[in-house]
Amino acid sequence: MEDIDFVPIAEFLAKKDEERKNRSKEEKKAEKEERNKRDQCYMYAIVDGRVERVSNHTAEPPGIFRGRGKHPHAGIFKTKIWPEDATINIGEDVAPPVCCLSGLAWKQVVHKNDVTWLANYKDNKKKNNTKYLFLDACSKFKGDSDMKKYEKARLLKKHIEDIRTDYRAKMIDKDIINNQLGVATYLIDKLALRVGNEKGDDEADTVGCCSLRVEHIEFPKENTIKLEFSAKDSMPYKNTVEIDAVAYKNLQKFVKGKKPDDALFDRINAARLNEYLKSIMPQLSAKVFRTYNASIVLQGSKEM
């Protein structure tokens, strides 16, 4: 790469960017109207007789994938997505959207009425990885999903004290598995951590509660822990927080005699934790805890 002179490319792009910024209001308006006119037929879908907005009707352009943090796919070239890479999902006896590239056609047109995606295509960054096109966040499907999510949070409010009593009892249990289940649930409740599923070698090393390693935790002072790891989308998570004394002692016990890359919660996994959560309240998950606690914070800020 040291032998390649990128300066002419940078100068060319800077010149084009400056030309774009210096256009008149009339030119910008005309371009926007032309683009909207061209994309109008791709921006909306009719679902069960309702006109719904599509979330994002454009595929990602080709280029070098950068990612966030230490993503294993950083530097991989994203190839161009062609019409023959895309599968369209529409109702039967309905004309598919027009392919705007002359001489080309969609890979396949299907009629799946038991899914909510409108189109999909293969992502070359990862083997067997498929990207999907969905309806916008303001659609009825998304609204119904959000309603169910908040109904679960309301249900949790009725049982939260019993649940906290249960996981605190597990933290003082003589069984190590119960200890880890109790502490993990406590951290999910207090810190809004995700459960944390195991990752493959070709996936970003993002971490959740169950996949925390010894290297991710420190004990700066009594009843205080410092967590530092790569969270969802490889975003860094750094937090120093005072915690329950019993949880603190348990965490010190969990790291004793382990190497930095050993699992903090070595006796449980995400499936076992989810099984425990659902045993104390149907449909309970780490996500429900996050929704509940975030709603409490939001409600409190509105009352201030």
* pLDDT tens profile 30-68: 999 998 888 888 888 888 888 999 988 888 888 888 877
Cβ contacts of 195-202, under 8 Å, gap ≥ 24 = 195/270, 195/273, 195/274, 195/285, 195/286, 196/270, 197/270, 198/269, 198/270, 201/72, 202/72, 202/73, 202/126, 202/127
Average pLDDT score over residue span 99-127: 87
Residue 98 lies in a domain: yes
* pLDDT tens profile 176-215: 999 999 999 999 999 989 988 755 555 666 889 999 999 9
Say what the pLDDT of residue 41 is: 82
Residue 11 lies in a domain: no
Say what the pLDDT of residue 198 is: 59
Residue 16 lies in a domain: no
236-242 vs 224-230, strand pairing mode:
antiparallel
- Both 159 and 270 in one domain: the answer is yes
Say what the pLDDT of residue 107 is: 94
Average pLDDT score over residue span 89-116: 90
Name the band, by pLDDT with cuts 50, 70 and 90, for residue 304: very low
- Both 184 and 247 in one domain: the answer is yes
- Both 175 and 262 in one domain: the answer is yes
What distances in angstroms separate CA 14 from CA 9, 11, 28, 140, 172, one per listed residue?
A: 9, 5, 18, 42, 63
Of the three residues 120, 138, 156, the one that is the final residue of a domain is: 138
Say what the pLDDT of residue 122 is: 85
Say what the pLDDT of residue 298 is: 83
- Name the range with the highest mean pLDDT among 8-12, 72-76, 277-281: 8-12
Flag whether the pTM goes above 0.85: no
- Both 184 and 274 in one domain: the answer is yes
Domain membership of residue 270 as a residue range? 148-303
Number of domains comprising the chain: 2
Of the three residues 138, 167, 185, the one that is the final residue of a domain is: 138
Residue 119 lies in a domain: yes
Structure tokens at 111: 């009629």
Nearest to 268 by CA among 217, 197, 174, 188: 197
- Both 130 and 246 in one domain: the answer is no
Query: Taking a C-beta distance cutoff of 8 angstroms, is the pair 217, 255 a contact?
Result: yes
Helical H segments across the chain, by residue range: 7-21, 25-39, 140-171, 176-191, 245-255, 270-280, 286-303
Of the three residues 115, 138, 161, the one that is the final residue of a domain is: 138
Is the pLDDT at 268 greater than 90, yes or no?
yes
Average pLDDT score over residue span 70-96: 87
Name the band, by pLDDT with cuts 50, 70 and 90, for residue 104: very high
Structure tokens at 238: 């750094």
The amino acid occupying position 140 is K
- Both 186 and 292 in one domain: the answer is yes
86-89 vs 77-78, strand pairing mode:
unpaired
Going by C-beta distance under 8 Å and a sequence separation of 6 or more, which residues neighbour residue 69? 204, 230, 234, 235, 236
Is the pLDDT at 292 greater than 50, yes or no?
yes
The share of the chain scoring above pLDDT 70, in percent, equals 94
Query: Taking a C-beta distance cutoff of 8 angstroms, is the pair 74, 65 a contact?
Result: yes
Which residue's structure tokens are 């449909």?
283
- Both 82 and 56 in one domain: the answer is yes
- Both 130 and 218 in one domain: the answer is no
Say what the pLDDT of residue 303 is: 56
- Both 109 and 54 in one domain: the answer is yes
* pLDDT tens profile 145-180: 888 888 988 889 888 999 999 999 999 999 999 999
- Both 202 and 125 in one domain: the answer is no
- Name the range with the highest mean pLDDT among 96-100, 193-197, 256-260: 256-260
Say what the pLDDT of residue 302 is: 58
Say what the pLDDT of residue 242 is: 96
Instruction: Check residues 301 and 225 and name the one with the higher pLDDT.
Output: 225
Name the band, by pLDDT with cuts 50, 70 and 90, for residue 125: low
Residue 172 lies in a domain: yes
Which residue's structure tokens are 């790569």?
230
